[in-house]
Amino acid sequence: MSGYYLNMITKEQKNQIEKVVVNIGTGRMSQAGNFDKQILPELIKELKVITGQAPQVIKSKQAISGFKLKINQIIGLKITLRQKRAVDFLNRLINIVLPRIKDFRGLKPSVIDKNGILNIGIKDKVIFPEIAPEDSKVSFGLEVSVIPKFRNKEKAVALFKEMKVPVKHG
């Protein structure tokens, strides 16, 4: 399956990526009455299809009344991809998913922070080819963080350019 990508991540580039973290926040969905029985299993199933790995459920550590948040309430799902799974996910993200975004002209340079971490926010999960929009019951966005082994913005920018991550210049 990995042979049909346009730009493959090389072994040297693979060794410079520590991990890829995929997060979603449940937000107001978690306050719905049918969240535990209907919405959460659907979120887990679709994230499993997108990443190839089961997500970890993240619960709140304290109550915040302003946000109507209780202790141990589910607030998100997180997946940490390493080695081969991280590289396969990045190949699909760079070559298939990002070009499918409507009117996509590249990522802003600000998506790479001062530590060299690439943070990409995706508004809707239907741009992933594994998800059939007509079968999907829940709509959600996700955040992808690509964490290199070094914490240097200049090195990270060079690595991401070499990997052909579509970051605009300037």
Domain-wise residue ranges, the chain = 2-162
* Amino acid found at 103: D
Question: CA angle at residue 102 from 100 to 107, to 5 degrees?
Answer: 80
Whole-prediction pTM = 0.81
For 114-129, how does the pLDDT look when each residue is reduced to its tens digit (9 = 90+)?
888 888 888 877 778 7
Looking at the DSSP assignment, which residues form a beta bridge with residue 144?
22, 120
% of the chain beyond a pLDDT of 70: 88
9 vs 14: CA distance, rounded Å: 6
Question: Which fold, 2-162?
Answer: 50s Ribosomal Protein L5; Chain: A, (3.30.1440)
Sheet holding 142-148, edge to edge: 56-59, 74-81, 17-25, 142-148, 118-122
| Pairing label, strands 74-81, 118-122 | unpaired
Neighbouring C-beta atoms of residue 166, cutoff 10 Å: 14
How many CA within 13 A on the CB side of residue 139? Answer: 4
Check residue 2 and give its pLDDT: 45
Per-residue pLDDT tens over the stretch 89-107: 888 888 888 777 777 777 8
